[in-house]
Amino acid sequence: MVMEKNININEFLFSRTRANKKLEVIKTMSDNDIRKTNAATMLRIYKECKKSGGDRFYINSERRVGNNWCSTIEFIYEWKGRPYLCLYVQNSSTDSSTSASFDEFNRYNRYEGYCENLNKHFTYDSDDIARTIRCILSEYVYYKYIERQARENRERIESLLHYKIVNPVYDYFYDEWRCKYQGGYPGAPHDRLDRYYRAKKAVESYAAEHVNELVGKSTEELQTLYKKVFRETD
C-alpha cells in the first residue's frame, strides 16, 4: 500500500473525503505525521462524538490499543477547555484508570505515567504514543461515519424501550408484582426475589424483541401483554 505523504492530518480528518479513504490514510501515515495531530483536533473529535448530555468519547473496546504491556486508551474528554485521555492501567492483581492531557501525552518521545490508585508507573514510547493517537483518529471515522446508521438505529430502539415501552409499566412492576413476589417487606424469601427478577427480565426481553409492534400501544395494553409474559415465567 502506498504511504500517504504531505497530508496535514488536522485538516484531512475533517475534509470531504470518503470514510474508507480516511481510514486508509490514517493507517498508512508515518508515526511522525500522526503525532502532528494537535490538541484542537482532539478537542473537536471529542465535541463531535460525545453522546448527547455525556462528557466522554469512548473508544470501542475491541479497537483499543496502548503500550502493549499494561495500559490502553479508554476514552477522551475535556477539562478546562483542554482534551484529556483516560488510560486504563493494569497491575498484577487489579486495575484502575488515570488521566493525561493530550499535550502532555504527545509532547515527548516517551510518556511517563503514574497511577496512584495502583501505586504504579507505566510508560508509552514513541511508537506507543503514535499507535494510540492513530487509534483515536480511526475511532472518530468509525463513529462519525461508518457505524453511524447502526448506532442511530440502536439508540432509537433503546430510547423507545425505556421511554415508550418499558417505563410506562414500571409503576405496575413495583406496586403490584414486586409487592406480591417480594412479600412487601424487607428480607423477603429468596425464592420470591428470584421469581420477581426472572419475570422482570422476561418482560424486558419481550419488549426488546417486539419493540416495533409495541410502539404506540397504551399503558393498559402494554400491561395486559406484560402480565401474560409475567405469568408464563411464574
- What cell numbers appear for 125 in the block? 514510547
pTM for this model (two decimals)? 0.71
Give pLDDT, residue 206.
78
On the question of pLDDT at 52 being above 90, the answer is: no
Cβ(143)–Cβ(56) below 8 Å: no
3-state secondary structure of 108: coil
On the question of pLDDT at 196 being above 70, the answer is: no
Give pLDDT, residue 204.
74
Tell me how crowded residue 51 is: count the other CB atoms within 10 A of its CB.
Answer: 11
CA distance 48 to 140: 9
- Tell me the backbone φ, ψ of residue 144, rounded to 5 degrees: -75, -35
Taking residues 191-208, what's their average pLDDT? 70
* AA letter at 170: Y
Band of residue 205 on the pLDDT scale cut at 50, 70, 90: confident
Angle at 100 (CA atoms; ends 80, 102), nearest 5 degrees: 75
On the question of pLDDT at 169 being above 60, the answer is: no
Taking residues 64-88, what's their average pLDDT? 96
CA distance 119 to 96: 10
**Higher pLDDT, residue 105 or 119:** 105
Band of residue 184 on the pLDDT scale cut at 50, 70, 90: very low
Taking residues 174-197, what's their average pLDDT? 56
Q: How far is CA 29 from the centre of its chain?
A: 27
How many angstroms separate the Cα of 94 from the Cα of each of 70, 89, 117, 119, 223? 11, 9, 10, 11, 45
